[in-house]
């Protein structure tokens, strides 16, 4: 009986050590998060006629002193465009994708009936000029080395605070290898529940941050619907990983999250 109990204790200890190894963030050489740990306006401070991910939305966020979360994709001629959706339908009223059109063609489109155009990352960096931090989401499910290389070409010369986030641990692993000084964050949600596609196994591993072993992120950015899961509380309280909750749409929710130690990525409110 003592032998069986000892064997069970050994297996449990090994399991816990393996689990801890898989979920650990970056341990050595961590990026400086001091200027980055604050609240961010999701796709800029948009609303009241200002489109999301537009220069006007970013200017509003800068004016009010909020960090800016934005999305990055490549045009057909490999220009870095700031745009969230997979298709152009919702925001531009035309069919097609960012990657199917050149930058010049995309610039002829207008965002939700306004005079705003789809900005390039160069335009955003020139507008912000380091006055507020940027949280830059690299779109894509797999590593796109062209997108990553183009991004670092601009960001290496940028003087303001910024961090990289992605749902793909492979993209974050690219930055781990080629730009280890960049702060990087793992985006977390139940992917198959929201997109109705993809591998359930991969979604399970991602939602329980078991693929941190690949990316070793400096922080987590978690869908606020799932923030109460024990693994996130463990990361926040025990491992002391900075955690961001998205997308917060009520002031009372933001206040509650802030008291619990979370930073917020918000929209439709002005905290």
DSSP notation for 35-89: TT-S-EEETSS-BTTBPTTSHHHHHHHHHHT-EEEEEEEE-TT--EEE--SSSSH
What pLDDT does residue 61 have?
98
Least confident span in 141-150, 195-204, 207-216, 252-261:
195-204
Residue 40's pLDDT is 98
pLDDT at 192: 62
pLDDT category of residue 141 using cuts at 50, 70 and 90: confident
pLDDT per residue as tens digits for the range 38-86: 999 999 999 999 999 999 999 999 999 999 999 999 999 999 999 999 9
Phi, psi of 165 (to 5 degrees): -130, 155
Say what the pLDDT of residue 142 is: 76
| Angle value at C-alpha 61, between 55 and 63, nearest 5 degrees | 100
CB 271 within 8 A of CB 61: no
pLDDT, the chain, mean: 94
User: Can you give the pLDDT at residue 129?
Assistant: 98
- The per-residue pLDDT for range 152-161, each reduced to its tens digit, is 999 999 999 9
Q: Where are the alpha helices (DSSP H) in the chain?
A: 2-23, 55-64, 89-92, 103-107, 121-128, 145-155, 169-178, 191-195, 200-207, 212-215, 230-237, 251-259
Residue 197 has what pLDDT?
Answer: 62
Residue 78: CA atoms inside 13 Å, Cβ hemisphere, count? 9
44 contact partners, CB below 8 Å, separation of at least 6: 50, 52, 53, 54, 56, 57, 58, 60, 61, 68, 70
Q: Which tens digits make up the pLDDT trace of 178-204?
A: 999 999 999 999 876 555 566 788 889
């Amino acid at each position: 009986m003592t032998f069986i109990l000892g064997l069970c204790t050994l297996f449990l200890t090994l399991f816990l050590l393996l689990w801890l190894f898989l979920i650990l963030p970056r341990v050595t050489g961590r990026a400086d998060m001091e200027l980055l740990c604050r609240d961010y306006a999701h796709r800029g401070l948009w609303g009241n006629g200002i489109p999301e991910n537009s220069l006007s939305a970013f200017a509003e966020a800068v004016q009010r002193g909020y960090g800016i979360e934005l999305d990055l994709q490549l045009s057909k001629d490999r220009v870095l465009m700031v745009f969230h959706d997979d298709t152009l339908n919702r925001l531009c009223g035309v069919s097609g994708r960012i990657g199917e059109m050149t930058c010049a063609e995309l610039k002829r489109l207008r965002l939700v009936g306004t005079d705003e155009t789809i900005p390039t990352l160069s335009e955003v960096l020139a507008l912000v000029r380091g006055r507020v931090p940027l949280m830059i989401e690299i779109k894509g499910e797999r590593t796109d080395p062209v997108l990553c290389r183009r991004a670092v070409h601009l960001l290496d010369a940028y003087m303001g605070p910024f961090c990289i986030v992605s749902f793909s641990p492979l993209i974050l692993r690219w930055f781990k290898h080629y730009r280890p000084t960049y702060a990087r964050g793992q985006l977390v949600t139940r992917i198959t529940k929201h997109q109705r596609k993809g591998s359930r196994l991969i979604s399970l591993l991602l939602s329980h941050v078991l693929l941190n072993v690949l990316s070793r992120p400096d922080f987590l950015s978690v869908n606020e619907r799932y923030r109460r899961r024990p693994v996130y509380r463990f990361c926040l309280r025990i491992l002391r990983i900075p955690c961001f909750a998205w997308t917060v749409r009520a002031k009372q929710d933001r206040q509650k999250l802030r008291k619990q130690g979370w930073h917020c990525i918000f929209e439709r409110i002005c905290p």
